[in-house]
Amino acid sequence: MADYAKKRGLSVAVVEAELVGSECSYWACMPSKALLRSGHALAAAKRLDCAAQAVTGDLYAAHVLARGNSFTSDWKDDGQVSWLESAGMNLIRGPRRDHRRKDD
Ligand SMILES: Cc1cc2nc3c(=O)[nH]c(=O)nc-3n(C[C@H](O)[C@H](O)[C@H](O)COP(=O)(O)OP(=O)(O)OC[C@H]3O[C@@H](n4cnc5c(N)ncnc54)[C@H](O)[C@@H]3O)c2cc1C
């Protein structure tokens, strides 16, 4: 949305209280798919004759979890901040402040 607005000539400021990239990048879509992928790949190999015989071990939970974490860039958002800046958007860190008057 921010990128869309910027490309159409509007000034964009992104207000973020936590990490730029939000839930999907750090807690949801990306790390969850990275976690699931190891199990899917192993199950697929076990279903395939010839490959199945080569699969002699099981997954190590610690490695699977580390893979999930690696997709979060260790919860650093430097890369996404660089992208925002290169696209000409302003980043304001911290919680949104509501400037409306109480009687509005
Ligand atoms: C386990 C899991 C897996 C998922 N997998 C997928 C998937 O594969 N594909 C898919 O499409 N969707 C997936 N989703 C859903 C997806 O994560 C959400 O739909 C998406 O993140 C919503 O984006 P958003 O920008 O609306 O909200 P968010 O990602 O929650 O972003 C809102 C941002 O606003 C910030 N914020 C909130 N309040 C304030 C405030 N007052 N001041 C300043 N900043 C504030 C928050 O810090 C946050 O960074 C998954 C969700 C989960 C839980």
36 lines ligand 1 (CB under 6 A): no
Does residue 100 carry a pLDDT above 80?
no
pTM, two decimals, is 0.85
Q: Is 14 strand, coil or helix?
A: strand
Atom of ligand 1 nearest to the CA of 29: 5
Burial of 84 (0-12, 13-18, 19+ CB in 10 A): buried
Tell me the per-residue pLDDT of 27-73, one tens digit each, with 9 for 90 and over. 999 999 999 999 999 999 999 999 999 999 999 999 999 999 999 99
Average pLDDT, the chain: 93
With a 6 Å cutoff on the Cβ, whether 96 touches ligand 1 is yes
Alpha helical stretches, state H, 1-104: 2-7, 22-26, 29-47, 51-54, 61-70, 78-86
Token representation of residue 18 = 């936590």
Whether the pLDDT of residue 101 is over 80: the answer is no
Percent of the chain past pLDDT 70, that is, above it, reads 96
Residue (of 102, 97, 104, 103) closest to 13 by Cα position = 97
